Amino acid sequence: MEAMKPADLYKILKLRSEVFVVEQNCVYLDLDDKDEQSIHVAGWINSEVAVYARIVPPNISYPNAASIGRVCNALHHRGKGLGKQLMQRAIAKCKASYGDNYPIKIGAQYYLLAFYQNLGFEQVSEIYQEDGIDHISMLLNNNNLRQ
């Protein structure tokens, strides 16, 4: 695994703060000791990070499941299909890294239900509140992968 350059890490953490802390007004500890164990997937336009997600290995966020989280899209890059491309890359990377032994579980913002369903995720929980935003748990099994 290659080390991330400090400047790239800074840009990723800045985007996460811009989206989750500032835009969504969520006060939470973003640095949760999972980043060092995670695989980071970013989409860059020139030298700017446009989209980002992290893949958390199985049994860290959820028992017997890998996870994709901290999914974010820079405000001025939304509506271009980059989020879908990012998730397709993240799902493929997750499967390549952990095989078919683990489903992928996510905590999705409820308003993105259709977006994640179109990628093959299924809702597996009732709506719950996290940082004042409606969320649901979703699961992607090997038999419901979509391109």
pLDDT tens for residues 9-50? 999 999 999 998 898 888 878 889 999 999 999 999 999 999
**Which CATH number covers residue 15?**
3.40.630.30
Q: Is residue 114 part of a domain?
A: yes
Total domains, the chain? 1
Average pLDDT, the chain: 91
Beta strands in 5-132 (DSSP E): 39-45, 48-56, 66-73, 104-109, 122-123, 128-130
Q: Is residue 31 part of a domain?
A: yes
Between 116 and 4, where is the model more confident?
A: 116
Residue 3 pLDDT more than 80?
no
Which pLDDT band, with edges at 50, 70 and 90, does 142 fall under? low
Residue 1 pLDDT more than 50?
no
Residue 144 pLDDT more than 80?
no
Residue 96 pLDDT more than 80?
yes
Its sign, for the CA torsion 53, 58, 59, 65, is positive
**What is the C-alpha separation between 129 and 125, in angstroms, rounded?**
12
State which amino acid sits at residue 116: Y
Please answer whether residues 12 and 52 qualify as being in contact, where contact means their C-beta atoms are separated by less than 8 angstroms. yes
Q: Is residue 73 part of a domain?
A: yes
Q: Is residue 40 part of a domain?
A: yes
Q: Is residue 126 part of a domain?
A: yes
Q: Can you tell me whether residue 32 is helix, strand or coil? A: coil
Which pLDDT band, with edges at 50, 70 and 90, does 147 fall under? very low
Domain with 49, as residue range(s), is 6-144
pLDDT at 4: 82
Q: Would you call 107 exposed, middle or buried from its count of C-beta atoms within 10 A (0-12, 13-18, 19+)?
A: middle
Q: Which residues contact 128 (CB under 8 A, 6 or more apart)?
A: 134, 135, 136, 137
Q: Which residues pair with 136 in a beta bridge?
A: 108
Q: Is residue 27 part of a domain?
A: yes
Residue located via tokens 């397709």:
88
User: What's the average model confidence in pLDDT over 122-127?
Assistant: 97
pLDDT at 7: 92
Between 94 and 141, where is the model more confident?
A: 94
Tokens of 89: 């890359």
Tell me the pTM.
0.90
State which amino acid sits at residue 86: L
Q: Is residue 1 part of a domain?
A: no
